[in-house]
Chains A and B, each alone.
Chain A
Amino acid sequence: MLDIKTPKTTEPKPRFFTIEDYEGQVPRWCSGCGDLPVLAAVQRLCRDEQLLPEMTVVVSGIGCSSRFPHYMKTYGFHGLHGRAFPVACGIRSRRPDLNIFVATGDGDCCAIGAGHWIHAIRYNMKMVVMLFDNNIYGLTKKQTSPTTAKHANTLTHPKGSFISPLNPIAVTLSISNVSFVAQTVDWNPPHLYQTLLAAHRHPGLAFVRILQRCPHFTAEVFEPCQRDPSLLLLMKHPNGISTDDTVNKIFKNQVEHDPTNLLEAQGLAVREDCHPIGLFYRNESAERYDDFSKSGIEMDRSEKIKAVEEELDRLQI
């Protein structure tokens, strides 16, 4: 190599972040909770991508998984039940420079916040949305959620819920302007990580449903899939979630699925015999509302005054 001297500089040393730099308070989730591996994956993602902690915001609603921001050492917004989406969209509206993660649960997103969910998908403002779906209200102790299985016993429906659960992936895939929909599981760290990484790199709103274990209230729901990966269907494609063969080989059931094929994705989403995991759909050229909402952020103060003066000229008598 050529011997080039490094020029002297007054620039401070470049910052390098380790996992610890993203670790906030000690998580208070139950032991064995599926939220814990998701937290680890997000922290690893932040480290690997070297996201500036002060330029990263985690927004959540209310529920077990919505405690997520407290366990990160970034900016965080632990707001109201069901309202993470409008807040995250508002943050994004004038801040294209921030990394935004949204942590929401099946009650938060699919029940009380369902209206915002639909519109946030359509707005397609850049953010990573993690739907922690444990099929139950955990924080309030075992009430039926929109994704609770029909015959599951809960405190609000002791003999099982009356009607079939809502399918969050099928719903999301049917919303106009949807741009990224993936599904993963909390108990397969490589797949979880690769899914979140793809979501983070997506230019738009990336919706990731994470099948998440609740050892306390719904241990039986995902335990079979955890024990028997053949109950999962791995969606594979060169443009899909790039897990390597060592990860892929545990999945007996695999399917080739091109994530540009929305109709096929919708077909996979409604399959009742298995949980497809991987990337359902991605469209990097979907319209983004943040491209419009950020207009004028660079406007000079004198230009603003001038605009108001011109308007006053018009209204002068």
Chain B
Amino acid sequence: MTSSSSLAADKIKPTKKKSATIEPQSVSNAIVEIVSDSGEGSQTAGQLFGIVSARMGNGTWTVELIPAEIEPPARSPAGASGNRIRFGTDVVTNMGDTADVVVAFNEQVLYSRIDKDAFREGTHIFIENKWGSVPQEAIRKAYATALADFQTRGYVVHEIAMEKECLRHVTDARRGKNIWVLGLLCALYDRDIGIASEEIERKLSRKGAKVVENNLTLLRAGYEWGLANLPFRYTVAVKPPDKPMVVMNGNQAVGLGAMAAGFEICSMYPITPATSASHYLASEFKKAGGFLHQAEDEIAAIGFAIGASYAGKTALTITSGPGLALKTEFIGLAVMSEIPLVIVDVQRGGPSTGLPTRVEQSDLLAALFASPGDSPKIILAPSTIDECFHFMITARRLAEMFRTPVIVLTDANLATGVQPFPRPRLSEKWLSPPLDMSPWDKNVDPYDWDPETGLSQRPVPGQKDGKYILTGLAHDEKSHVAYVSRINQYTHDMRSRKLATLQHSLNKPIVNGEPEGDVLVVGWGSTRGAIEEAVGRVRDDGEKVSSLHLRILSPLEPGLKEVLSEFKRVITVEINYSDNPDPGQPESNNRRYAQLAFCLRSHTFIDVECLSMVHGIPFSPGTIEAEIRRILKALSTV
């Protein structure tokens, strides 16, 4: 017996005898985590658990926990890999607050989650118990120490002989323990084991019948063990959806959206966390007539896309922050020479190489301003997986209509978040138009700007009488190089006017909740679910709090000043950096605001506050709720 046996934690003794199965207790939603060393398959198990729940009809949201290295050291917080799955009876829009249940393959990986405040008093930890009896004393000691610490923290620890149980069925427990755990979780949360089996077959069929069979055995073993031994079980009721639903992550949605938009070229260079969108296109794009080009670098990736766009079909490039930085000069060329182009930036932690696998919303100002000279462009920010799909269609159309690059800002949270959404009803109108090779009207210049809107049509190689020499130099209507002051001023006006034209065509954004009140929380991108949940909680207490989520960040949606003016306090919630506002801190005298707050302040002259952090994790609704309550309290004491 190891020292951990003295713990007061719930003990589950492995047993062959089948005891009576506990009846599940009904809950409206649950947060489950699976955490292991990298390579132990907890991500796969987590994804499968999310998909099983989604297929059963639960609302789901999953967050991938990804180490930065491929083979980080075993049994270390840095190596923690896994998945958080939140699922519920209703739609789930964010990762929630703390986990109800966590399955851990060793005790050390849990410290990476403790660092992120992922657990609370009462969180159930199901942990592999083999570490208590390994020959290495240091490991046994570390295990015992950690378990004692978990108890102090108020977690409820359940030690399970996972590997031993797996070894009853397979010879190598390291391969397949994850699926045994999936079976265990299916028992714990009353999941449909048939659906789980189907998903395993689908996921593993490529690896051969033997692998599938082994994994199905382990799934069933974990499930049956759970039914026989778990001291408690839950069920999460299902509301069957009234329409067909699809489930995917944000990067898949970007890729599939690109196919539905009729893109023919996606040109990219590998970069975390954007690359999985390209992986997806690499396997599927060809079926819709597209080609994925992996360029020699980020600059070549956008150059190739610009070449393809210039030659007729608006192209796509997908990157993340450091790649966006490298693409800056070419984005300027696309703005200057008015080449339609879509750039997806799956934001990660910065600056520099920053936090490659973690979420941040720090590229807004870079997207807006990073270019020498004035470089107006359209910036969109999808806030859900559903929008990741549909914004690709919007982005291509806007790029072509306004003859400009469009930057779509998603982030690591959306990229890896898996959520069901209504199946899109495709339309041929979403596809890019066929190449127009008809002769160009001789009397129309290649930059035949409409002075009111700045809009113009572009000729494409192959169109007779449309010949022009595209240039990044200052140029006139005929695309002739022009250094004349008046022309340079005018052409700047024309490019900027396109944004004004787009803004005129938009509606005033709609506030979530009452259009006036005490506090308005403004967000953009992936924070929407957490913000709306937090706002819902305080509104349920009768507080006058609303939220506003911006989808178009350049040009800003119209009427913002009026919307914001209806509230006593306006605060943005953003996963990026801002200075500490506390007086006494050296930076508070010259406070730098979060990025959307910066934009809104200069745009509206309203004293917009911000809640922002760069912890590399999404906001939990609880954090936002606490901030709203703090502001409300301050307001009531004024």
Q: Which residues of A contact B (CB under 8 A)?
A: 24-25, 53-55, 57-59, 69-70, 72-80, 83, 85-95, 97-98, 115-116, 118-119, 292-297, 299, 301-305, 307-312, 315-317
Contact = CB atoms under 8 A, between A and B. Distances in A.
A179 B286 CA distance: 27
B288 interface: yes
Contacts of A297: 264, 289
B595 to A, nearest CB: 27
Interface string B278-312: 00000010111111010111011111111111111
A312 B466 contact: no
A19 B248 CA distance: 57
B461 A95 contact: yes
Contacts of A97: 462
Query: Can you list the 9 inter-chain pairs with the closest CB atoms, starting with the nearest?
Result: A90-B307, A86-B303, A299-B289, A296-B289, A76-B469, A90-B304, A307-B287, A87-B307, A119-B296
Contact of B315 (A53, A74, A90, A307): A90
Nearest to A292: B291
Interface string B250-268: 0010001001101011010
Given A80-B333, A83-B330, A317 B420 contact: yes
B308 A311 contact: no
Contact of A296 (B290, B301, B461): B290
Nearest to B475: A78
A298 to B, nearest CB: 8
B403 interface: no
Contacts of B307: 59, 77, 86-93
A89 B461 contact: no
B71 to A, nearest CB: 29
Contacts of B309: 90
Contacts of A310: 287
A317 B307 CA distance: 39
Residue among B256, B299, B309, B463 having the largest count of chain A Cβ atoms under 10 Å: B299
B428 interface: yes
A87 B311 CA distance: 10
Contacts of A116: 296, 299-300, 303
Interface of B: 51, 54-55, 57, 244-248, 252, 256, 259-260, 262, 264-265, 267, 284, 286-291, 293, 295-297, 299-313, 315, 329-330, 333, 420, 423-424, 426, 428, 431, 434, 461-473, 480-481
A5 B290 CA distance: 48
A173 to B, nearest CB: 19
Contacts of A93: 265, 291, 293, 304, 307-308, 311
B426 A90 contact: no
A90 B267 contact: yes
A211 to B, nearest CB: 26
A94 B312 contact: yes
Contact of B303 (A70, A87, A299): A87
B336 to A, nearest CB: 10
A57 B51 CA distance: 49
Given A54-B461, A54-B465, A79-B471, 20 more contacts: A53-B467, A57-B311, A70-B471, A70-B481, A76-B469, A78-B470, A79-B303, A83-B330, A85-B300, A90-B305, A94-B264, A294-B291, A296-B286, A297-B264, A297-B289, A301-B431, A304-B262, A312-B256, A315-B248, A316-B245
A223 B308 CA distance: 41
A310 B287 CA distance: 10
B301 to A, nearest CB: 8
A78 B303 contact: no
Given A78-B471, A305-B431, A309-B426, A91 B296 contact: no
B217 to A, nearest CB: 25
B312 A76 contact: no
Contacts of B434: 301
Nearest to B285: A296
A230 B17 CA distance: 98
A79 B472 contact: yes
Contacts of A294: 291
Contact of A305 (B295, B311, B428, B469): B428
